[in-house]
Amino acid sequence: MVQVAVVHNTLDFQGGADAVCLATCEALLTDHEVTLFTLSETDPDVLADRFDADLDGLAVRTPPANGLLASTLGRLAPKIGPQLAVRSVLVERHFRRHAAAFDLAVSTANEFAFSGPSVQYIHYPQFHLREREDADPGRLNPLWGRLAGPERDDLQDATLLANSAWTADVVEDIYGVRPDVLHPPVDAIDGGLEWDDREQGIVVVGRIAPDKRVLDAITVVDRLRNRGHDIHLHIVGSAPRSYREYAEKVAAAADQRSHVVFERDVPRERLENLLRTHRYGLNLKPDEHFGMSVAEYVSAGMVTFAPDGGGQREILDGRADRLFDSVESAVDRINTAISTDDRPSLARDRFTREQFKSAIGEYVDRALQR
């Protein structure tokens, strides 16, 4: 049976990239022997429950001292800055020692200079970012690029995929090759209440981190209430070790307001129940590379708002009444939607898990036949 290595820098941030990783593993386990290489405190089986993935038969390999490395990097994140690239370097070095045993490498966490055939799913490039205004690579990114980053020639024969057309543009600009677009897996969330029966509340889902600007969501709801709307906010997400300090600030702000509820690491059932029973979904991160939470809001039949930049524009079809460029314009957009009783109208089944799994399987089969 074909041996496939899935290389993923970390599962510890528990976001959209990890959903892609688990869905890829699940898809490939049907026909192949799959081994996941990662540097994570988080057990894949824990996330499998959260993302409803069947990982039966998946082998996992981690670098020596994996737990200590992962926890140390998590604690040092506020001091050393972005760390996905350094985790990628460590995982790639570990995989390199075992690469000869595999027929194909599949990266589910961005680009690598693999020596053999590969399929590489890029959420956003992780190397050679110094000149990018829309990136926060950290001061050590040039070092990580020298250690594990590909040059343009390294990617010409790889099968490259991107989570959005916006990300594909960035990859093409850096590496001179344009990936195919394969949107991440987001199933429709069925069983939602009728619009008139839903609570007039906003839900914010995702990693509790500074780049997600979760505190801005509290500001948005405060200002909507100042405009006379009886509206509340649910913040639901994971708080990895790297962002515990920020999560504490969010928790403190929520505790000061009866109209804000903050829940961490909730079961999938609880998350979906909130999306089925509330009217509005909100994302605050500018230039989100895709926006899994944005797609989930749409899939649950919510009226959804997001910053006017990145892949989330594609999810919201570029609608000016759903996109904003500041906290104040976010308040304006939501205020108008509430005042006019605007209803959801976007298709809910554009990014299903089965579509993703079928596509990733086809890309892998083609790469194996080269």
Q: What is the 3-state secondary structure (H, E, C) of 4-42?
A: EEEEECCCCCCCHHHHHHHHHHHHHHCCCEEEEEECCCC
Task: Tell me, yes or no, whether 122 lies in a domain.
Answer: yes
Task: Tell me, yes or no, whether 173 lies in a domain.
Answer: yes
Q: State the CATH number of the domain containing residue 217.
A: 3.40.50.2000
Closest-CA residue to 160 (of 101, 91, 112): 112
Pair of tokens at residue 292 = 């899994």
The whole-number pLDDT of residue 73 equals 81
Cα separation of 342 and 79, whole Å?
44
CB atoms within 10 A of CB 98: 12
Does one domain contain both 209 and 236? Answer: yes
Does one domain contain both 54 and 143? Answer: yes
Does one domain contain both 151 and 21? Answer: yes
The whole-number pLDDT of residue 68 equals 86
Task: Tell me, yes or no, whether 298 lies in a domain.
Answer: yes
Cα separation of 258 and 115, whole Å?
55
Estimate to the nearest angstrom the gap between the alpha carbon of 135 and the chain centroid: 15
Does one domain contain both 32 and 159? Answer: yes
Low-confidence ranges of the chain (pLDDT < 70): 76-82, 131, 137
Does one domain contain both 161 and 207? Answer: no
Task: Tell me, yes or no, whether 57 lies in a domain.
Answer: yes
CB atoms within 10 A of CB 297: 31
Task: Tell me, yes or no, whether 207 lies in a domain.
Answer: yes
Which range marks the domain in which residue 247 is found?
A: 195-339
The whole-number pLDDT of residue 33 equals 98
Q: Give pTM, 2 decimals.
A: 0.90
Does one domain contain both 85 and 169? Answer: yes
Cα separation of 21 and 17, whole Å?
6
Three-state secondary structure string covering the chain: CCEEEEEECCCCCCCHHHHHHHHHHHHHHCCCEEEEEECCCCCHHHHHHHHCCCCCCCEEECCCCHHHHHHHHHHHHHHHCCCHHHHHHHHHHHHHCCHHHCCEEEECCCCCCCCCCEEEEECCCCCCCCCCCCCCCCCCHHHHHHHHCCCHHHHCCCEEEECCHHHHHHHHHHHCCCCEECCCCECCCCCCCCHHHCEEEEEEECCCCHHHCHHHHHHHHHHHHHCCCCCEEEEEECCCHHHHHHHHHHHHHHHCCCCEEEEECCCHHHHHHHHHHEEEEECCCCCECCCHHHHHHHHCCCEEEEECCECHHHHCCCCCCCEECCHHHHHHHHHHHHHCCCCCCCCCCCECHHHHHHHHHHHHHHHHHC
Does one domain contain both 257 and 305? Answer: yes
The whole-number pLDDT of residue 238 equals 85
Task: Tell me, yes or no, whether 346 lies in a domain.
Answer: no
Pair of tokens at residue 207 = 């990693």
Does one domain contain both 176 and 87? Answer: yes
Does one domain contain both 140 and 265? Answer: no
The whole-number pLDDT of residue 71 equals 84
Amino acid at 106: V
Four-CA torsion 275, 278, 284, 285, nearest 10 degrees: 10
Number of domains in the chain: 2
Radius of gyration of the chain (CA): 20
Phi first, then psi: give them for residue 41, nearest 5 degrees: -75, -30
Greatest Cα pair distance, the chain, in angstroms, is: 64
Task: Tell me, yes or no, whether 345 lies in a domain.
Answer: no
Does one domain contain both 322 and 211? Answer: yes
Does one domain contain both 97 and 36? Answer: yes
Pair of tokens at residue 196 = 């008139």
Amino acid at 362: E
Residue recorded with tokens 């050679």: 128
The whole-number pLDDT of residue 80 equals 59
CB atoms within 10 A of CB 147: 16
Task: Tell me, yes or no, whether 347 lies in a domain.
Answer: no
CB atoms within 10 A of CB 21: 27
The whole-number pLDDT of residue 78 equals 61
The whole-number pLDDT of residue 66 equals 87
Does one domain contain both 272 and 361? Answer: no
